Structure 1
């Protein structure tokens, strides 16, 4: 199905489309793909990739979603790594029966370090926005990325250099002191953080560079994206975006350095979802679809449901510079779902969205404004949802999901398409 290509898994929506379940299946014995490692290439500890397999459920945040199958995780230089959350996730995985989870973890020393200081600042900043919150998990991902633009930010390599790390943490704390004044959001003392990060460095394999070629020599790589392309820092709908390049540019770049082919697998549900604030043209509060693993978060906001939106999905595919195949999840939940054929706007009917150019935030904001005011034109969803999406999106559906469990994945044979 994928030949000898490495796989890049990206969410074509606002997140929560089933990347974790897809990666878990790709790494399982059922897929037969001989996966050497799951490579995380964007985002950080705000990810929430739910996997249900063999009676177990785990929400993967920084570990790759192939961990239950014993597949190692490589956190690349593009990850924002939160060691305290990683240690907690390792304990959860150990309770599920994963032997020594940290032994399956490899971390690029160049990756930025997300600390409780970043998290406290993130929550303070969202508090000041009141009812105009951008939407956030409150973990500090945006603060980690933005601080590093103009400062000597803490990185994973510093976990092996206590004095350098302490100096950087003190500078970080001092920089944000005015915003943190009042102490509503508390965090560990710097000396305690340094001790914890030293212990982390002793427990995991920290690599001088990504060492991708070494992993690729032993099997296939699966690149696991986080969030969704519609939240991408450059192509997403500003200001409701993440400080992360979600589309597969960085995964492609890593593969190009080792001269290896990549297959981009776009993931979508049969309907649209979104956490928190931001435009959502097909949202329908009347939809009632059970959601076992997503709810309302204090900073993330409510979990919203909407009808299928091929216009937004095509926009995401263009933002990815194309995809090679589709994984369609939640085919067991089509029920009352309809599909958008266009938007009614003040300027007339719109049936295509222009991604614009990199870093053109004015274009992205105007697109956000358009979508905030758009009314979708809806029609009945055809019975053959995979076939319909192939026609609408111009890519073959190669994998389908008919429920939350690993056993609910199905290969879509080309002859059936």
Structure 2
């Protein structure tokens, strides 16, 4: 039986999942986004052209693949249509023949973005530093059972009633904040302006997935990273959805028993926005990682904080997501370093931790315990075999494997689509 693959980030996002999914789709039939929204930024480089995707699955650049946006995604329909039009303008074929959207997707509206901005500004003492895309408030309405879903656009009679219920909640909040209430017609017009463009993509996607032939392979594409999971991440500095691999079943509507979970991680670690970061380098090392790695957020344009590889967090991610094997990215960013470091534990209050405690006040004060390895001072980019890598680069990879007790099956050696070292191909053949 064909193994399906779930791809998740093992850090705080920005690990390079887009390239990995696109590469895997060469031997797959379907790719599905199962959570998040247009706060995701997946970059794929083909023939020196960079394509930046937010809502669209990374398979969309391969015309013979089916791309699906699952029910677990918070859908900004206007942003999606703009993304589709941008791809069409460069001759990428996108339409209902190769892109399907779950009828159950909750819709992000302008009022969600306004609410997020309002509450972010109120959190002076503990700003989350969100992307202000309205994703968190959209998920709040979904859980509060007042969200407008994609399927609701099909029935204008019941749509008005649902908008009225939604505005009862949001206008109460706006009144308390001293803002003008929103008129029902304003929201109705927003929905009607997009409905005819987006409805052709609507499908009962769970049913389509359920009817796939056994020889068809699905790639479940996660957004953000495990350390940003709403339940298991560095709360409250997290995203608003579950980013761990098991959520793929919930966010898609299909459970796959025969599944390979591929975790993606950088050879170092980065973070956008506020929150704990034990191995962060607020020094020349951090500046070098930032500059060489071009660490600017794809969606937000914000600078990413940079630090040494954290094996403690990686092991925690492996446990939480039941990672089967690992894809390592951006190894080449470390090519110029004399010494590279790996965090193997934390110290706090005369105690050693082999995991990240949940208490925020402790997280902020952890002191990393490092293991130093010699750098390789040679080029690793564009290599196609493991033996082609410098000896010390291979030793660095081997040490990470030893610490994590997991095989690194893929090594990305540049942003380019086909620059990939495959050390273990059993799950993709």
TM range (shorter): 0.7 to 0.9
In structure 2, do the counterparts of structure 1 residues 317 and 137 end up closer, same or farther at CA, with 3 Å as the change threshold?
same
Secondary structure of residue in 2 paired with 1:332? helix
* Structure 1 residue aligned with 2:423: 412
Distance in 2 between residues matched to 1:257 and 1:64, nearest whole Å: 17
In structure 2, do the counterparts of structure 1 residues 184 and 237 end up closer, same or farther at CA, with 3 Å as the change threshold?
farther
* Structure 1 residue aligned with 2:380: none
Which of these residues, 36, 40, 46, is aligned with residue 53 of structure 1? 46
Secondary structure of residue in 2 paired with 1:63? coil
* Structure 1 residue aligned with 2:388: none
Q: How does 1:70-81 map to 2 (within 5 A)?
A: 70=63, 71-81=65-75
- Structure 1 residues 261-318: Cα deviation after superposition (integer angstroms, max 9, x where no partner): 11000000000100000000000022213344624987x9641101000001111111
Q: Post-superposition shift, 1:155?
A: 0.9
Distance in 1 between residues matched to 2:70 and 2:352, nearest whole Å: 43
- Are 2:384 and 1:373 aligned? no
Q: Which moved more, 1:88-97 or 1:382-391?
A: 382-391
In structure 2, do the counterparts of structure 1 residues 112 and 66 end up closer, same or farther at CA, with 3 Å as the change threshold?
same
Q: Post-superposition shift, 1:80?
A: 1.3
Q: How does 1:17-416 map to 2 (within 5 A)?
A: 17-28=15-26, 33=27, 35-70=28-63, 71-180=65-174, 181-182=178-179, 189-207=186-204, 209-217=206-214, 219-252=216-249, 257=254, 260-285=257-282, 286=284, 287=286, 288-289=288-289, 290-292=292-294, 294-295=296-297, 302-320=303-321, 322-334=322-334, 335-336=336-337, 337-350=340-353, 352-353=354-355, 364=358, 366=359, 368-381=360-373, 383=392, 384=394, 385-413=396-424
When the two chains are superposed, the root-mean-square deviation of aligned CA atoms in Å is: 2.8
Distance in 2 between residues matched to 1:56 and 1:187, nearest whole Å: 43
Contact 1:308-1:338 at 8 Å conserved across structures: yes
Distance in 1 between residues matched to 2:184 and 2:267, nearest whole Å: 41
- Structure 1 residues 5-39: Cα deviation after superposition (integer angstroms, max 9, x where no partner): 000001010000011010011113xxxx1x21111
In structure 2, do the counterparts of structure 1 residues 259 and 123 end up closer, same or farther at CA, with 3 Å as the change threshold?
closer
Q: Which moved more, 1:184-193 or 1:328-337?
A: 184-193
In structure 2, do the counterparts of structure 1 residues 145 and 388 end up closer, same or farther at CA, with 3 Å as the change threshold?
same
Distance in 1 between residues matched to 2:183 and 2:415, nearest whole Å: 37
Q: Which moved more, 1:92-101 or 1:271-280?
A: 92-101
Distance in 2 between residues matched to 1:95 and 1:259, nearest whole Å: 36
Distance in 2 between residues matched to 1:169 and 1:55, nearest whole Å: 45
Q: Post-superposition shift, 1:377?
A: 2.0
Q: Post-superposition shift, 1:410?
A: 1.9
Distance in 1 between residues matched to 2:400 and 2:20, nearest whole Å: 18
In structure 2, do the counterparts of structure 1 residues 381 and 67 end up closer, same or farther at CA, with 3 Å as the change threshold?
farther
Distance in 2 between residues matched to 1:392 and 1:249, nearest whole Å: 24
Q: Which runs of 5+ in 1 are unaligned?
A: 355-362
Secondary structure of residue in 2 paired with 1:407? coil
Number of residue pairs matched?
395
Distance in 2 between residues matched to 1:87 and 1:256, nearest whole Å: 24
Q: Post-superposition shift, 1:325?
A: 0.6
Secondary structure of residue in 1 paired with 2:153? helix
- Structure 1 residues 67-112: Cα deviation after superposition (integer angstroms, max 9, x where no partner): 1112221111211111111101101111222123454211111221
- Structure 1 residues 131-157: Cα deviation after superposition (integer angstroms, max 9, x where no partner): 521131111111111122223321111
Contact 1:46-1:137 at 8 Å conserved across structures: yes
Distance in 2 between residues matched to 1:240 and 1:296, nearest whole Å: 19
Distance in 2 between residues matched to 1:324 and 1:144, nearest whole Å: 32
Secondary structure of residue in 1 paired with 2:279? coil
TM-score normalised by L of structure 2: 0.84
Secondary structure of residue in 2 paired with 1:112? coil
Q: Post-superposition shift, 1:323?
A: 1.2
Distance in 1 between residues matched to 2:184 and 2:215, nearest whole Å: 41
Distance in 1 between residues matched to 2:313 and 2:112, nearest whole Å: 32
- Structure 1 residues 41-79: Cα deviation after superposition (integer angstroms, max 9, x where no partner): 111121111111122212211111011112221111211
Secondary structure of residue in 1 paired with 2:421? strand
Q: Which runs of 5+ in 2 are unaligned?
A: 375-391
